[in-house]
């Protein structure tokens, strides 16, 4: 995802966005993204001099789908690779059986739940006056 200044996001920023942060020292777990890069052919960040990795909007979408498959669906690396390879053409928004459609449905459900929780809290505050 491009930030507000239309710049590419570096690997540390992406790791933080995804919540890939060490519980002990609060540092981003960038090695996880580098590992995924080696395992998933769909993930090709821009690598500049010195090995610094920067992710485009397309790369970030792929990373979020990989994150969803591995962390939220509990797939193995091979299972996620197979899903990504098999559904490469099906990663569009129009097919309800695609990986991307399932990811978006779950994403919307989570956001809706958060909004409902906020509304409930606000309604509770109104009633307490």
Render pLDDT for 28-75 as a digit per residue (tens, 0 to 9): 999 999 999 999 999 999 998 888 999 999 999 899 999 989 998 899
**pLDDT above 80 (res 125):** no
Q: Higher confidence at residue 87 or residue 88?
A: 87
pLDDT of residue 4: 52
> 33 or 90: whose pLDDT is higher?
33
As beta bridge partners, residue 55 has 9
The pLDDT value recorded for residue 15 is 95
Res. 87 pLDDT band, cuts 50 70 90: low
What pLDDT, on a 0 to 100 scale, did the predictor assign at position 128? 52
């Amino acid at each position: 995802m491009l930030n507000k200044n239309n710049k590419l996001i570096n690997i540390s920023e992406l790791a933080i966005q995804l919540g890939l942060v060490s519980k002990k020292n609060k540092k981003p777990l960038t090695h996880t993204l580098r590992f995924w890069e080696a395992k998933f052919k769909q993930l090709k960040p821009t690598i500049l001099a010195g090995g610094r990795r920067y992710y485009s909007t397309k790369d970030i979408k792929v990373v979020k789908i990989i994150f969803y498959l591995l962390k939220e669906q509990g797939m193995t690396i091979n299972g996620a690779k197979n899903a990504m390879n098999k559904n490469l053409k099906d990663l569009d928004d129009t097919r309800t059986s695609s990986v991307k459609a399932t990811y978006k449905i779950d994403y919307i459900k989570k956001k809706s739940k958060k909004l409902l929780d906020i509304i409930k809290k606000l309604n509770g505050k109104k009633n307490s006056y």
